[in-house]
Structure 1
Amino acid sequence: MAHADAARIGSDRALAVACLIVLSFTLFAAIPKAIDGSGATGLDFSCFWTAGAMALDGHAAAAYDWHQLRELILRIHPSLNQAPYPVDENPTPFFYPPVFFFVAALLAQLPFPIAFWTWSAAKLLCWAVVVCAIRPGAVALLLAFATPPVLYDFLVGQSSLLAASLLCGILLTLDRHPIVSGVLIALLTFKPQYGVLLPLVLIVTGRWTVVITASLVIPVFILLTGLIFGWDTFVGFREAATFATQFHLTGGLAWYKLQSVYGVLRFAGFGYGLAMTLHIAVAGAVTIWVLIIWHRNVSFAVKAASLLTATLLVSPYFAIYDAAILAGALVFLMNASMAERSLLLSNRSALRIGFGVLVLLGFAYPIVLVPLGPFMCATVIAMIWIRCRQPGVKSDLAYG
């Protein structure tokens, strides 16, 4: 017993050291660029901030007008008028649901640099709180922050880390605090592609308190949005969402930036029809897989990890920073207690391998310029599969 405890402690230390090395390298390479303003730091955040400024001026719906928004953003990042940033592609359009104006307008009351760092600090704090709630301890926290997609989300000022925090928070409060979970679902509507699988799981597993709460809170958010920012914002959002779909899925965006199965197939030369058909087939298979896992007598940590991973694979559009959600899946899997002797691969070994793959593929992405997201997801799915096929699954920590 003492020998097993010593081995576990040694393994945890090894993983912690690996995470610390990766995190130190990441900070050394990225923070100077963020501080001196070189590159396109805060590029994606600029569309949030500018949309919020337009909302404060009483022109929220105009934020969905690509030409008006771009003119204002170029004042923040004038270097985007020059190569290698073609003006017709950068900065990014604003196509978030109107409810996001509450956040954007709040941030727009601050000067852009202060708003960017406030936004970044808030996201990282939410992420840290959720990770510690899933798995207390330095090892889990280091793993969650050392995953490369977290860095990419921070550098461009994206919203994926906040959405990942909300989705993990929904899972944490699902059973003990279903009303809180329902409110968090309503907040997650700003990133609708993250909520495709969740309603199915809730309905199939009969978590009606969560469903009813979300169904009541979401209309309240919509009503407040329309009253404060104008009902024309919903018209603008519909048009912007249509444009975004065409832009991202028909070649307006470089295929290597699409980290989905669809993106891989288009990158490989498949046409739209065949690529989308195959993507839908994979999404359908993944959905069935998740529903089966949620009906099995397995650890809740395994169920949560399956939902987080499949959430990425279902959407035809997700970017490299969205893969930060996989770090949350790994942290959940740290709680997947099992009889180690019955495993083909021990829990700790699988975690080290999984983390290593995410780090290697994450840092390889900007070098090779190939969509690697499905391969990152496949790594986590393999870890889940190993656990589900082995006997000896034990009840893990209760969440809530």
Structure 2
Amino acid sequence: MRVVTTFILAAFLVFTAFVLLQLSHLIANENSNVKLIRTDSSVLRSVSRAISPSIKLSPRPPPALLEEQVKSYKKPIVISIVTGHYLGNFGYNTETDPRPPCMIQDVRVNCSLEGPQRRETADALWYHIPHMSLAGLQPRYHPNQLRVAMSMESAAYYPLMENPDLRKEVDILSTYKYTADNVNHYYDRNFDEDEKNFLTPPKVPTAQKKNVVAYMNRNCGAKNGRNDVVKELSKYITIDGYGCIGSSNRVDKVEVFSKAKFCIAMENSNVEWYVTEKIYQAFQAGCLPIYMGAPNFEKDFLPHPKAVILYKPESMNPKMLAEKLHQIANNDTLYEEHMAWRKMQLHELLPGFQRVVAFGRRPNPECRLCMKVAELRYLKEKNATLKSSN
């Protein structure tokens, strides 16, 4: 009898421990979900000012600015470009820029990007990652000075972008990744001037397009082997090529692509989040793109499942791709199915692409950088005031 009682008690204790363990996992998951929701909400708030009404996002309005914030944001900002730059001329100034005013809520930001001669008094020092090294970082010339590191190039070519030590040394990391402090997309208002987002009929009707694959590229040593893929593909289907394959003439890319049924929109490397202008130029032209690149392209950038032919080397080869292209090219009805997404409304497209459009409709990159510097400068000033009062 004692043995039976002991066994029942042991079983009860094991069952109780199991229930408690499951409850702890459930609570942990709930907490992580709350964190995720908060993170997503902060991202949505950052783009809410520029989102089309058709994108179903409902971020909370930002809190009203404090008087001390307004005072700080109104002070002129100087960003000194120390290395090679990617932001056009040094003469950028929010006061003279023809684009819409650079605003933080109702406060107009007065900001300029200037050369290295202003580095000692500048609010921020700007570095282009492909032209910098950690050892070459200049010291901060005053306590509140910020460091900005920026690149729109692939991390496969510039591994410093993924170096955790870079993150420790700079205050603002500005790249194409959504984890950056200042996210810069290749999709911008240049592709969205009329807010149609390629949702218009192709420039050239299907019946008038050439049954070829258009390809234009001058980086012949891409790390993902795209040139080798296209060379092999040319054995099975006609390639209208410029640059690495075909003609050396310089021609208008969108114009050439618009006359072809298919076009190559392959990146120079397969790096997460690295989605360049190539796919957007293809959409602009109205050809059916063949894409290879970012592993998260389908989830975070694809407008519609049939908008693109995805080339995945692990499950496809150039001969198989050519067979698929011939099948589509010889059937206008099938080809039109791949163009049908262009007749849809933006809110009907995949969420990842809607988010791309939302980011693309934000203020211009220089303005966003100035806004970020203004916000961090204010926080540094506030922390300095708190320290001095203690």
Fold-level similarity (TM above 0.5): no
TM-score range, shorter chain: under 0.3
**Over alpha carbons, which structure has the higher Rg?**
2
Q: Which of the pair is proportionally richer in helix?
A: 1
Higher strand share: 2
TM-score by length of 1: 0.26
- Normalising by the residue count of structure 2, what TM-score does the alignment of the two structures yield? 0.26
